[in-house]
Amino acid sequence: MNTLRLHNTRTRKKEVFIPIDPKNVRMYVCGPTVYDRAHLGNARPVVVFDLLFRLLRHAYGEEHVKYVRNFTDVDDKINAKAAESGREISDITGETTQWFLEDMAELGALDPNAMPKATEYVDEMILIIEDLIAGGHAYEASDHVLFRVRSFDGYGRLSGRSLNDMIAGARVEVAPFKEDPLDFVLWKPSSADLPGWDSPWGRGRPGWHIECSAMSRELLGETFDIHGGGNDLMFPHHENEIAQSMCAHPGSGFANYWVHNEMLQVEGKKMAKSAGNFFTVRDLLDKGHPGEVIRYVFLATHYRKPMDWTALKAEQARRTLEKWYEQASRANGRGVPCNAVVEALFDDLNSSRAIGELHRLSRQDDIFRLRHSLQFLGLMRDGVPSWVHSVDAEANSLLAMQEKMANLRSMALKSKDYSKIDRLKSLLVSAGVEVRMDKSGVKLLPGPGCDSAKLREVERELH
């Protein structure tokens, strides 16, 4: 069998992956905070860990892999959104959770085996906090419970930071009741208008980090195989998870392999809600970028490299996939993915190399291996996606529009009234279509950023 190698953040090395129990391979990935649509950056870990999930299932068998990804449905950002919109918290979290699942399914992501919600594990969080207090790793102060960072020797080891660097970092919140500025909140008090649970420390709610320690223990055990997430979570979130779990369960290892994806960027900066430089997965889907195209663009860059989304990459992905689907549609029956594709993924999820192998299969017209490799990578379900046919329809409708524009133009030349043709031309340009007019007639050339939804509006105007 091929050997899976993964880059382990904990050791900073690419290591051979050896599961604790090959009959029960366990992975936990930090999921979204549900208060708004997922932006494209949030989708990157979903696609990366979906790929790892598929690979683990391939290597160990579907029934021997357990993948858990949580929903953070208690958070101050959610509370703020409820206060500003006047809506119920459960309305917001319920709707956003549904959106997330729908959007990620469009990207070909399989559902994890368990998708626990933080609010359903508050009792388990309280139990861990009690253990931490009993062990001298946490203390109560001003109705809060804080984790005593200096009580855990290994703090900072994952991200490779010294305590002093962390104190200097802007992300450490100073509060008068903390023994040490590094200490972080496990529990905080809730006023009557905020979500709260009864606890030994009064009515309150958990801090963010404790939920992952509680849910991973409940669903995967004190020690499991892989913990994943974006590298923006390494500090403080993952350092805090490790500290909590290892102090609550002395002698356990928590996660053996830490896998972190690099960030999706916009002009060199991390795409983030707070930076305002984001667009949502739904925005892209609504603009006519199919989920398979978005997934392909992700897979074309290795998960440990920063990447940008560009309209050009999307256009190239679409053209490539159209060609591959045409070839794959000629291959029927059952089969297995190409070994070279699987091998590329076994090498620390080298998905860009896997895509290169698909190009080779396409050049060789090896349609069976191509089809089963596309399915393995989550780029194809049972058949050719329906948008591939609509590409033909779009080309036809462009031809029809071209003809109508040519008629309008010759009418305008006679009447000298160019207002209608000018208006339609600027609509087409704003939809991302280049309009060329000369003696020979009108040519419409859709550019890489062509917006299909807008194009349909122009089409309606022309009728």
Residues of this chain that interact with Zn ion (CB under 5 A) are 30, 212
**Which contacts qualify for 395-398: CB closer than 8 Å, 24 or more apart?**
397/455, 397/459, 398/433, 398/444, 398/446, 398/455
* Residue 232 site contact among Zn ion, ligand AMP, none (CB < 5 to 8 Å, cut-off depends on kind): ligand AMP
**Does residue 30 interact with ligand AMP by CB under 6 A?**
yes
Residue 425: both structure tokens together: 């031309």
- Contacted entry of Zn ion, ligand AMP, none for residue 212, CB cut-off 5 to 8 Å set by kind: Zn ion
Q: Residue 25: which of ligand AMP, Zn ion, none does it interact with, CB under 5 to 8 A by kind?
A: none
What's the number of CA atoms in the CB half-sphere (13 Å) around residue 258?
21
Residues 6+ apart with CB under 8 A from 76: none
Give residues with Cβ within 8 angstroms of 114, minimum separation 6.
66, 67, 68, 69, 219
Q: How many residues in the shown chain lie near ligand AMP by CB under 6 A?
A: 17
Angle at 433 between CA 427 and CA 434, to 5 degrees: 105
Choose the contact partner of 32 out of ligand AMP, Zn ion, none; CB within 5 to 8 A by kind. Answer: ligand AMP
**Residue with smaller CB distance to ligand AMP, 45 or 446:** 45
Q: Assign 3-class secondary structure to 82-110.
A: HHHHCCCHHHHHHHHHHHHHHHHHHCCCC
Bridge partners of residue 155, in order along the sequence = none
Q: Which of 108, 116, 206, 230 binds ligand AMP (CB under 6 A)?
A: 230
State the minimum distance, in angstroms, from the CB of residue 275 to ligand AMP: 9
Q: Which is nearer to Zn ion, 158 or 442 (CB)?
A: 158
Separation CA 406–CA 212 (nearest Å): 62
With binding defined as CB under 6 A, does residue 207 bind ligand AMP?
Answer: no
Question: In the set 33, 93, 119, 351, which binds ligand AMP (CB under 6 A)?
Answer: 33
Sign of CA dihedral 26, 32, 38, 41: negative
Residue 256 binds to ligand AMP (criterion: CB under 6 A) = no
Residue range at the interface with ligand AMP (CB under 6 A); choices 120-128, 161-169, 229-237, 342-350:
229-237
**The entry of ligand AMP, Zn ion, none that residue 272 binds, CB within 5 to 8 Å by partner kind:** ligand AMP
For residue 455 the two structure tokens come to 């194009």
What is the dihedral sign for C-alpha 377, 357, 40, 282? Answer: negative
By CB under 6 A, residue 44 contacts ligand AMP: yes
Q: Which is nearer to ligand AMP, 183 or 262 (CB)?
A: 262
Asked if 118 interacts with ligand AMP (CB under 6 A), we say no
Q: Show the binding pattern over residues 269-298: x = contacts ligand AMP (CB under 6 A), - = does not.
A: -xxx--------------------------
Q: For ligand AMP, give the closer residue by CB, 156 or 230.
A: 230
Q: Give the CB-side neighbour count of residue 344, counting CA atoms within 13 A.
A: 21
Distance CA 2, CA 414 (A): 72
204 binding ligand AMP? (CB under 6 A):
no
Q: Does 264 bind ligand AMP (CB under 6 A)?
A: yes
Task: Give contact residues for ligand AMP (rule: CB under 6 A).
Answer: 30, 32-33, 41-42, 44-45, 229-230, 232-233, 261, 263-264, 270-272
